[in-house]
Chains A and B, each alone.
Chain A
Amino acid sequence: MSLTFIGGIHPRENKNAKDKPIELLPPPESIRLSMSQHIGVHCTPTVAVGDHVYKYQCIGKITSGLGVPVHSSISGTVKEITKSVTPDNVEKQTVIIENDGQNTPDPSVRGFDGPLSELSAAQIIERVRDAGISGMGGATFPSYAKINSAAGKVKHLIINCCECEPYICANYRLMIEDPDAVINGAKLLMKALGLRRCDIAIEDNKKEAIRLFTKKLSGNQMFTVRKMKTKYPQGDERQLIFAIYNVMIPQGKLPADVGCVIFNTETTAAVFRAVAYGIPLCERIVTVDGDCVKEPKNILCPIGAPLSDLVDFCGGLVKPPKKIIFGGPMMGQAQWDIRSPVSKGTSAALLLSASATTEYEHRSACIRCGKCVGVCPMHLMPTYLASFSRTYNFDMCEKFGVMSCVECGSCTYVCPGRVPIVQLIRSAKVRIKENRAKKS
């Protein structure tokens, strides 16, 4: 039996790149590195225009506060340091580096000499921080901070290999092509957290990955492979913990408050590479898919590479896209530029035509079918929340639990009246937060 939660949806999986091995992107002519690809304070550039940088060289540092450094993913010359609007639609400082084609690695990058078991927890955390690792599933929370806040407090480590969004298969390819990196990364995380056990949660549509991990880990007392039902949002931390341990995270609390900590598959592999080889996070796997792309692919690409290079590598466009999305179609962010750079949290780039993507309609009307109530993984009543929000009745929104909403969009996906439910809920949440701030 696969483990799961109550509610949720099952959109068409569309994982067209599922059987495509990971390919390496040809070196881009230039890259654009945003100084903030994570949650927290922005980095300060440590290079100036005209400087030569090595591959893996740190080019942006955190002076104080929460955050991780940024590293160059190519060797070359700093061409420009400018303010530009990044994929998450906020103006940030951006370093543009021109490729010299040499791919010279930073000579100071060195792996750990000696067996990894000799590393202390503090050493692992330090290496994870210096490697600039933040959550690669899309949330981009700095990983070292997550380990620090969870160490000593949690009992369960979960490696999240659910990948419940349609189209994306970057994690799946990583799992079957480099399972050892994931397993070793998990071992390092266990060491850093002081844990002896780890759950690997894989959705049951990734049969090959489940088979491989079960085989590799058979007889290993530390690991448990958990088969999860293929359903969106199975990868959401609240639903994942509920499905495995039958525990609900109280509203406003974090997984660590119920003794759990969750890491994404690719983050885990990045932890291994950073700790063992000293390689910072400056490459990631991106699934390029969508009906406008000639050949969907999983591409290992330098962070900062423009999407147009990835699209070229996939054979170009077969029709003009209506929407370009970084991330999955349920949670991803729409882009306005095909040259948008890949960042640490970009798990997929989707180029969808008008027929593959649907907008809400201005003529939408709720028919009170209650389908949203059935699919809400947070057990809310989205139909009422939307109509209260529409009439600015924020008190009722709060009474109906609007602040519990995780904005997964399941209600909006399923709505036959095409009501922009999650958008209305979001605006209610913003207003309520504003009002609370005003009061205090």
Chain B
Amino acid sequence: MTILLAVFLLTMLVITAVAIVRTRDLFAAVMLLGIFSLLMAANFFVLDAADVALTEAAVGAGISTVLFLGALALTAARERESGDSRWLPLVVVVIMAATVVYATFDKPALGDPNAPVHQHVAPWYLSETPRLIDIPNVVTAVLGSYRGYDTLGEVFVVFTAGIAVLFLLGSGRPGELFSRPPDELSTGGLKHHLIPRVVGKLLIPFIILFGLYVQFHGEYGPGGGFQAGAIIAAGVILYALLEGETRALAALPESALKVMVIGGALLYTLVGVVCMLMGGNFLDYSVLSTNSVAGQQLGIILIEAGVGLAVTGVLLSIFHAFAARATA
């Protein structure tokens, strides 16, 4: 059943991807990218990777469409026809694809218990996590503790990407995501549409609450800082769409976003430094408390909070940067 579902979803994924590449209508491409992301998340879910699926869901379903539309507002509606011959790129892509498909023949079958990936460190993680960290979601244990260095690296990648986008777009004066004429509607947002406004505003507290649940329930179920950050950012973006950028920035000003971005990355690093000062290795949370299991859990909660702050801050800064650019 897993195979059947995965093959069906992947076939639709290929069809969508080809359509995205072929279409010249950029708006259609944005809509199809939304479908692409939904298909990808469903596929991750069918393969039992709930944490990854939740990330893809949180980023793909809400935020990436909004950011793509922000980019579309800055550019033309249609892609320009390029006069270059497309045969050479096509040949290169076909050869690469054939090589990759050929390579998969040597791959162990899906779910094969003898596959190298299930024989390397995974059994150790599964057998030792209850003793060392005592949380049910082993994925969070791997991300937060065993591979804490890698996750720290990921946070810095998000941090750097955020800075790079802000450099490119410039953080000018605050504006609306979609520029509008200077008339009575210039306050922005979907203020004059009662139904989206009432329903949307009712939903915002629940979105934020769910984000906090994902943040703090990450040790027990799918979730963690990355997913929670994206969900909370989606809630604030919904507020900005309904009430206008100006009010969203008044509620959560750019200075606060900067503190979140920098503070999140610093919090993660500081946890590691404190571990060293207390006599352990960098990011070895066992020394944070007299009981090493409690120390591990405390460390994971702290670094996940850092991740959540940084991701929320970066996503919202990028959103506001697009909006400021569209108005300028």
Q: A and B bound?
A: no
- Residues of B bordering A, CB below 8 Å: none
- Residues of A bordering B, CB below 8 Å: none
